Chains A and B, each alone.
Chain A
Amino acid sequence: MRTGHFKENPGQLVALSDSRVVWTWFAGMLCVMVLAPFLIGNYGLTLVVSSLIAIIGAVALNMLTGQTGLISLGQAGFLAVGAYSNALLLTDYHWPVWLTLPASGLIAALISLLVGIPSLRLKGLYLAITTLAFSFIISHVILYAEGVTHGPNGVFVKGATIFGYDVQKGVPLYYLVLGLTVATILAALNISRTRIGRAWMAIRDHDIAARVMGIDLVRYKLLAFAISSFFVGIAGALMSLQLRFVNVDVFALILSIEALAIIILGGLGSIAGAVLGAIFLSFLPETLRLFFSMFADEKSALFTDYVYEIRGAAYGVVIVLFLRFKPEGLIGVWKDARKYWSNWPLAY
């Protein structure tokens, strides 16, 4: 029988979950995900792959912003670094994809240290602007270092195979992305339970107090940047595999804004929230499209002339209403629902 928060040994304290029900649900969900290619069509699979990549990016940003309290608007830049590293190493240097993927993460992590150093003295909006400036520098470098990056022409990504399978499309891409998503989530969950994770949270809550407690701010802030950017770099590399083409326009500022929106909508600081937020925002446009095609009369002038504006406005309205009535994010909804069913029929 579960005893709420009561733990009997240190092992239970650091376990990802002590509930058999949770592990059963997790295993069941994983089974569904493994079987997904046989249950949904190619378009559905494309959407799922996009949302899984968004999950990796969101979980990574959550480490930096949600757990350490360092606001970043440079995600598009780190994504671009990862995507370009992967594309160039694959296409121009003919590295195997199993090597280009971690290399993309490592390159993004190393470059993030350059941004991380000024961040040691900056917080809040000042840091956000610094990271935003980093994004601009990255796109500048891509455009002007033509000899290496192909400049504004972009790069067509090809030659990504693992065991003879083309991992740039269809089921092989899906399994690759699924595997890396699960690995990222598990890594994030485990890091948050280590000394590093707890140090990040201490820095987020009060950096001076954290310092007084003996936490090396330089080390842990740089670690937050490096580890987060490593995973964002991998997300960028996966994006380049899925799109099969990269250029600077692919990594517009809107991506950084969307990444922040995902973790805020999901519930800042929560890994599960980042996952829910990524799923929610990835599928919201498609859900709205289906909704409008089901209920709107396609012959009406209003629908035919303004359908895209209506859908765009609905997208914004859903987000605004959500934040207004559920400021704790999707994870709050999830917790409420769990509490309701746990206490049913005595729910209050």
Chain B
Amino acid sequence: MRTSIITCAAALLLSTVAYAAEPGVTDTEIKVGDVNIMTGPAAFVGKGFALGSKIAAAEINAAGGINGRKLTVITEDDGYIPARSFQALTKLIEVDGIFALNGTSGTANVLAMMPLITEHNLPTVVTEAPAKLVYTPVRPSVFTFGANYEDAFYAQLKYIHDNMEGKDAVYGILRQDDDFGKDVEAGFNRAVKEFGGKAAVRVAFKKGTTNFSAEMAQMKQAGVTVLANGGIFAGAANILAEARKLDMKIQSAGVWSEGIPASAALSAPAGYDFMVADYVSLVGPANDKFKVLAKKFVTDDELSNISRYTYVAYIGLKTLAEGMRQCGKELTRTCTIEKLRGLKNFETGGLSAPISFDNPLQLSGTAVGVYQFDTKANAFKALSEFKQY
């Protein structure tokens, strides 16, 4: 009897110790971290994202949580500064003891966090910055959701070539002089080469540039009719404003950050029906359904902040939760990573193409849809379904 009690006690103690070693998980709660841009000029990215996490967590918790455990999302601000992203993730790991990570800010930010992510074997779904640098080389615990800028620009230029401008189009590109800009130019190069088009002007500019008068005058001089607009937020709007000043007749392909209401409002006054390509849906029944769901969990004020970043956060957390759910009660990081690696055709309710991480790059959601902003209706319309490019 005595031996049995001791054996049972030892087994219980061992199991407790083994389980307690898994950070961020208790009998009632699972903590997920989110490092995001909550302050500064790009704060609306982080705010939109945090909203998506909030809605996903609330929906999961309302349905009983993950195998009975409540999901808690802890957000830390990095102000879009990579050194702060590193510090924020250190805090989330060491102080809050998170189990997994959903929000990862921009490309340089997620790369700055990468040593910590790999060191702690932290299950991570990257949805905001699906750059090639994030998934090559493959890190075992990192799963990437989203297309790259190369495909996004190629998709738009192909649509313009097939449906609008044809063979005589003259192409021009304005892009940032960094990794993001290089991806944009890769899509541009691919399109121009394939269509046999004339690439008249290629200009690289420094991040934060606001005056594009000289660059756009160069475009006008060269007779550019199709513009790959690699500016973001105010930069993209300023490029279109300059084009309008010069009375240029152009079709403009843009970055998916221009698909959010705040960016569209900045670009709209120029009067161009500009395009964006995105790996999440911007308009349609799936978005309407999402907004109905969101109303249950967030305030009216927050509803106005819904953007593509809300959708990517929602999809990211739902995907992460699915990996955790498949592990059952014995939730570990290793198990979650294994289950995510085996994830196939996980439905996102039409907000994106189904998610499958069962590929060597652990990459999904690479299909993009093309959208156009209708300045008269002040809304986006879908031009094509999600498609691999």
Contact = CB atoms under 8 A, between A and B. Distances in A.
Contacts of B27: none
B90 A46 contact: yes
Contacts of B108: 154, 247, 249-250
A47 interface: yes
B94 A43 contact: yes
Interface in B168-205: 177-182
A228 interface: no
Nearest to B91: A43
Contact of B39 (A140, A151, A245, A308): A308
Contacts of A41: 94-95
Contact of B206 (A136, A239, A311): A136
Interface in B45-65: 46
Contact of A47 (B82, B83, B87): B87
A contacts with B: majority SS: helix
Interface string B103-125: 00010110110110001000000
A140 B209 CA distance: 14
Given A250-B108, A254-B81, A312-B39, A245 B91 contact: no
B114 A156 contact: yes
Contacts of B177: 140, 143-144, 152
B contacts with A: majority SS: helix
Contacts of B119: 169
Contact of A43 (B90, B180, B182): B90
A243 B78 CA distance: 14
A255 B3 CA distance: 64
Contacts of A143: 177-178
Interface residues of A, number: 34
A139 B205 CA distance: 12
A342 B253 CA distance: 70
Highest count of chain A CB atoms <10 Å: which of B87, B93, B114, B299: B87
B95 A243 contact: no
Contacts of B206: 136, 139-140
Given A43-B91, A46-B94, A305-B302, A247 B182 contact: no
Contacts of B247: none
A194 B279 CA distance: 63
B83 A243 contact: yes
Interface in B126-166: 133
Contacts of A153: 133, 179
A250 B115 contact: no
Given A43-B94, A46-B94, A153-B179, A245 B82 contact: yes
Nearest to A157: B115
Interface string A129-158: 000000010011001100000011110100
Highest count of chain A CB atoms <10 Å: which of B95, B111, B114: B111
Given A41-B95, A248-B178, A50 B87 contact: yes
B111 A247 contact: yes
Interface in A8-46: 41-43, 46
Nearest to A315: B39
B28 to A, nearest CB: 18
A144 B94 CA distance: 37
A301 interface: yes
Contact of B95 (A43, A152, A169, A249): A43
A249 B87 contact: no
A199 to B, nearest CB: 35
Highest count of chain B CB atoms <10 Å: which of A144, A239, A247, A309: A247
A312 B114 CA distance: 26
A153 B181 CA distance: 12
A198 interface: no
Nearest to A242: B86
Nearest to B75: A308
A252 interface: yes
Contacts of B114: 156, 245
A140 B119 CA distance: 32
A245 B117 CA distance: 13
B258 interface: no
A152 B87 contact: no
A244 interface: yes
Nearest to B206: A136
A82 to B, nearest CB: 14
Given A154-B133, A245-B115, A301-B299, 9 more contacts: A41-B94, A42-B90, A47-B87, A243-B86, A243-B115, A247-B82, A249-B178, A305-B299, A308-B39
27 contacts: A41-B95, A43-B90, A43-B91, A43-B93, A46-B87, A140-B206, A151-B179, A152-B177, A153-B133, A156-B111, A242-B86, A243-B82, A243-B112, A244-B115, A245-B82, A245-B112, A245-B115, A247-B82, A247-B179, A248-B178, A249-B108, A249-B109, A250-B82, A305-B302, A308-B43, A311-B39, A311-B77
Interface of A: 41-43, 46-47, 50, 136, 139-140, 143-144, 151-154, 156, 169, 239, 242-245, 247-250, 252, 254, 301, 305, 308-309, 311-312
The 8 closest A-B pairs by CB, nearest first: A249-B108, A43-B94, A152-B179, A308-B38, A244-B115, A152-B178, A42-B94, A312-B39
